[in-house]
Structure 1
Amino acid sequence: MDTRTIRRTSVILPALNEPGLYLSHVTSLEGGRGRLAEFHYADADLRDLDLADTHLLGGRITGLKTQRARLERLRCDSVEFAYCDPASLRWSDSKVSRTVFRDCKFMGATLENVTFDNVLFESCRIDYSTFARVRAVGPVIFSKCTLRETAFAACDLGAALIDGCDLRLTEFDGGKYRGLDLRGNDLSQLRGLASLKQIVIDRAQKLQLAEALTTELDVTFGEDLDDK
């Protein structure tokens, strides 16, 4: 069983290299009776992708590009996404398990009411996106991703770890984050610090949080007033 481990957090990876497993090349993600298994969907360039009430089980999706993508009530089990760029992505009411997103672009995406369990985001661009009511019921890792100006609203990410990511103006607005591991990041430009109770950081990051809080509270330093 392949895993990816950073500090105390381990994600179980998709089981796609099992002996005897053959992934069939497919030209569509719409399987019979709403189920697609043991597949490889590659290099599609679509204007629109609308996928609903579908179960993706044991497969790879590589090089997928869209101008608009809508995913609803989608279940992903043991799936690998690589080098995908689904523009204008709206993903809702879904569950994602044992899934990897590697070198993908989710610029300006909206994920709402999506449940994660053993999910890895690696070297992805997720800037200007919104995660609304997203829950991590199992381990989730964001590794070497950019999350600039991304908003986490009313999420439950206590089982998540964010490591080596760009968190400039990343905002947390309500939710549950007890146990969220933020070590290994620059926290000096975070927003919504009041939501981040009982997170895990290194002692050296206390100054970064202080800087972020000073900016968020729009503090005026007395020395600056005295110099005027």
Structure 2
Amino acid sequence: MASRTFGHVTVTTPDLDEPGLYLSVVETLDSPRDAVQDFTYGDVDLRSLALTGIRLITGRVSDVRAKQVEFEALNLHGVEITSSDLGSVRWSGSKLTRVHVRDCRIMGAALDGMVLDDVLFEKCRFDYAGFRKVRAAGPVAFVGCALTEVTFTDCDLSDAVFSDCGLELTEFGAGRYRDTDLRGNDLSQIRGVANLAKIRIDSGQQADLAQALVDELALTLGDD
């Protein structure tokens, strides 16, 4: 099995090039059997992509461009998603296990009630997305991602790692962030500083958090 280490977590990622594994090309991710396994799917332009109650097991999704995306109870295991544009995605009630999402645009997404276990988001754009009741049940890492004006609400991101991410006006709402690793990021423009108890930072980020708190509270600094 392949793995990547970021900070204090090691994420197990899909190994889709292992000897003896053959992925069949499929024309759709929907299935009357409610499962698609050992597959490769991609290089398509779609007006909409809607999947409900489907399990995707051991496969690769690449170069998918869809204007509207609706995923409900879509569970992924051992899946790689690359170079895709999932416009206005609404993704709810799902579990992702051993999933690698790379070089994707997931801007303005609504991600609700998702469970993440061994999930790596790498070089993805999540700008203006909303994460609600998303739980890290195992290793989770955001690496080199753009998270401008993203909101996290009622999430459990304990032990998750954010590395080299853009966190401009990213809002960490009420939730659990114990040992969430924010080292290696500019934190000066984040929101919800008071909710980030017990996170991990390095010594150089103390000034960032102080600046973020001053801006959030609209404090006026002066000598008179």
Q: TM-score range by the shorter chain?
A: over 0.9
The AA in structure 2 aligned to 1:4 is R
- Alignment TM-score, normalising by the size of structure 2: 0.98
Match of 2:41 in 1: 41
The AA in structure 2 aligned to 1:24 is S
Conserved? CA contact 1:113–1:133, under 8 Å: yes
Deviation at 1:159?
Answer: 2.4
Partner SS state of residue 43, structure 1 = strand
The AA in structure 2 aligned to 1:50 is A
Match of 1:181 in 2: 181
Task: Tell me the distance in 2 between the aligned counterparts of 1:195 and 1:133.
Answer: 15
| 1:168 paired to 2:168 | yes
Task: Tell me the distance in 2 between the aligned counterparts of 1:8 and 1:181.
Answer: 8
Deviation at 1:78?
Answer: 0.3
Partner SS state of residue 204, structure 1 = helix
Structure 2 residues not aligned, in runs of 5+: none
Partner SS state of residue 88, structure 1 = coil
| 1:87 paired to 2:84 | no
Structure 1 residues not aligned, in runs of 5+: none
Task: Tell me the distance in 2 between the aligned counterparts of 1:3 and 1:102.
Answer: 15
Task: Tell me the distance in 2 between the aligned counterparts of 1:15 and 1:203.
Answer: 36
Conserved? CA contact 1:161–1:181, under 8 Å: yes
Deviation at 1:190?
Answer: 0.5
The AA in structure 2 aligned to 1:141 is A
Deviation at 1:42?
Answer: 1.1
Task: Tell me the distance in 2 between the aligned counterparts of 1:222 and 1:204.
Answer: 24
Match of 2:77 in 1: 77
User: Which sits farther off after the overlay, 14-23 or 212-221?
Assistant: 14-23
- The 5 A counterparts of 1:5-154 are 5-154=5-154
Partner SS state of residue 41, structure 2 = strand
Q: Which 4+ residue blocks in structure 1 deviate beyond 2 angstroms?
A: none
Identity %: 47
The AA in structure 2 aligned to 1:38 is D
Conserved? CA contact 1:137–1:159, under 8 Å: no
Deviation at 1:18?
Answer: 1.8
Structure exhibiting the larger radius of gyration computed from Cα positions: 1
- Alignment TM-score, normalising by the size of structure 1: 0.97
Q: Indicate the RMSD between aligned Cα atoms, in angstroms.
A: 0.8
Match of 2:198 in 1: 198
The AA in structure 1 aligned to 2:62 is T
The AA in structure 2 aligned to 1:153 is T
What does the per-residue CA deviation read over 1:53-87, in whole Å, with 9 as the maximum and x for residues that have no partner? 00000000000011100000011000000001010
Task: Tell me the distance in 1 between the aligned counterparts of 2:205 and 2:80.
Answer: 33
What is the number of residues matched between the two proteins?
Answer: 224
Partner SS state of residue 212, structure 1 = helix
The AA in structure 2 aligned to 1:173 is G
Conserved? CA contact 2:7–2:161, under 8 Å: no
Task: Tell me the distance in 2 between the aligned counterparts of 1:43 and 1:202.
Answer: 42
Conserved? CA contact 1:37–1:59, under 8 Å: yes
Task: Tell me the distance in 2 between the aligned counterparts of 1:95 and 1:67.
Answer: 23
Task: Tell me the distance in 1 between the aligned counterparts of 2:41 and 2:31.
Answer: 12
Task: Tell me the distance in 1 between the aligned counterparts of 2:32 and 2:10.
Answer: 34
Deviation at 1:222?
Answer: 2.4
